[in-house]
Amino acid sequence: MTENNDAFLQVRDLRVHFPTDDGIVKSVDGLTFSLDRGKTLGIVGESGSGKSVTSLSIMGLHKAGTARISGEVLLDGQDLISSSREEVRLLRGKRMAMIFQDPLSAMHPYYTVGTQIIEAYRVHNKVTKAVARKHAIEMLDRVGIPQPDKRVDAYPHEFSGGMRQRAMIAMALSCDPDLLIADEPTTALDVTVQAQILDLIRDLQNEFNSAVIIITHDLGVVAELADDIQVMYAGRAIEYGSAEDIFDRPQHPYTWGLLGSMPRIDQERTERLMPIKGTPPSLINVPPGCAFHPRCNYARLNGGASETEVPQLLDIGDGHRVACHLSPEQRKHAWETDIKPKL
């Protein structure tokens, strides 16, 4: 596997397990990836695939809980997993920041939007309140909130959904973080507002040259923003590649399933949708071997390897990695005859 040892963010063999009464929930089970400044990584998967847990553990937000975390997360060379909570707290907000799905619950209803941005800014910068307030107004203006000098004193409930999301982005970006994690940033929003927010994230990234991780279940959103895409299933990455790799020559049957499940807005329908059979597995009882094999139409082709052996994420050229027991010829054949013509 090609390793980029100078990358700004490096995640190596990250595991996040939650012990419960029923057994260990393996939310993330061996994840390795890296991300450079100025680049956007899209993490795609369905509910329970471990995409949010990954981001929360990078941010150190699982440290206080019951999670058992192992592996390495190197942010500019500093390992966040072995750092103390206090050390990670100093980085959070300053060097890495997060945008959450639901801005109403991510903001405190009791304080004005301005107060919350000012607080975040003053934790990391020794400035007076007046200076911080000026900065907050600038940030609100930057994310496109009209009349920022008045809106800075409004409460979160006085904002619409799209404006709240903008305000949260303003808060996240107030200290110029080098890494921005956006966890389903537009899922709660209407399409026209979603388009505005995606534009905003893209513009701000160009401006600040930050590394962005965007977590979503919507392949359209990653197609719009991401340079690289990681597809996750049951706590593991099953495919990783550039946006072109994933959309134009996807290799994993699960990726095919996702593409086949999505109705397209830009094409008149010809074929029925091709859903993935069954339902995602429980993370307590992940199927042995390839976790996807009970739902995979091609698992039989492999003489039982899929049922017993966990496939490794292997490079098949140019950084496109896939974790599948099928041979390249089998995959090529299946994609070109079964899947591609029906998309």
Partner 1 sequence: MTTTDIESGTATPPLGEELLAVKGLKKHFPIRQGLLQRQTGAVQAVDGLDFTVTRGETLSLVGESGCGKTTTGRLLTRLLEPTDGTIVFEGRDISHLSDGRMRPLRKDVQMIFQDPYGSLNPRHTVGKIVGAPFKLQHVKTPNGTKKAVQELLELVGLSPEHYNRYPHEFSGGQRQRIGIARTLALRPKLIVADEPVSALDVSIQAQVVNLLEDLQDEFDLTYVMIAHDLSVVRHVSDRVAVMYLGKIVEIADRVSLYESPMHPYTLALLSAVPIPDTKGKGGRERIRLTGDVPSPINPPPACRFHTRCWKAQEICKTVEPPLLELAPGHQTACHFPENQPGGEAPRVGTARSVNTARPVEAPRTEARTDTARPVDTPPAE
Contact residues toward partner 1 (CB under 8 A) are: 46-47, 141, 144, 146, 160-163, 190-196, 198-199, 203, 217-224, 243-244, 247-248, 257-266, 268-269, 272-277, 279-280
Minimum distance from residue 91 beta carbon to partner 1 (Å): 30
Q: Which is nearer to partner 1, 274 or 305 (CB)?
A: 274
Question: What is the chain's Cα-based Rg?
Answer: 21
CA 284, 290, 296, 302 torsion-angle sign: negative
Q: Which is nearer to partner 1, 199 or 309 (CB)?
A: 199
CA 215, 227, 223, 336 torsion-angle sign: negative
| Amino acid identity for residue 23 in this structure | G
Minimum distance from residue 233 beta carbon to partner 1 (Å): 10
Q: Which is nearer to partner 1, 3 or 318 (CB)?
A: 318
What kind and span of H or E run contains 229?
strand 228-233
Q: Which is nearer to partner 1, 114 or 253 (CB)?
A: 253
Minimum distance from residue 170 beta carbon to partner 1 (Å): 13
Give the 3-state secondary structure of residue 11. Answer: strand
Q: Which is nearer to partner 1, 264 or 300 (CB)?
A: 264
Minimum distance from residue 175 beta carbon to partner 1 (Å): 22
Minimum distance from residue 221 beta carbon to partner 1 (Å): 5
d(CA 11, CA 9): 7
Give the 3-state secondary structure of residue 149. Answer: helix
Q: Which is nearer to partner 1, 74 or 154 (CB)?
A: 154
Q: Which is nearer to partner 1, 109 or 146 (CB)?
A: 146
d(CA 248, CA 267): 16
Residue the block writes with tokens 């959450």: 100
What kind and span of H or E run contains 61?
none
Give the 3-state secondary structure of residue 28. Answer: strand
Minimum distance from residue 180 beta carbon to partner 1 (Å): 19
Burial bucket for residue 164 (CB in 10 Å: 0-12, 13-18, 19+): buried
**CA 32 to each of CA 76, 126, 288, 304, 315: distance values in angstroms, whole numbers, following the listed order:** 16, 36, 20, 26, 13
Residues listed for the chain = 343
**CA 259 to each of CA 216, 218, 294: distance values in angstroms, whole numbers, following the listed order:** 14, 10, 19
d(CA 212, CA 206): 11
Minimum distance from residue 207 beta carbon to partner 1 (Å): 11
**Tokens linked to 126:** 């020794």
Give the 3-state secondary structure of residue 195. Answer: helix
**Tokens linked to 191:** 């399409």
Minimum distance from residue 54 beta carbon to partner 1 (Å): 17
Q: Which is nearer to partner 1, 129 or 277 (CB)?
A: 277
Q: Which is nearer to partner 1, 127 or 188 (CB)?
A: 188
Minimum distance from residue 339 beta carbon to partner 1 (Å): 14
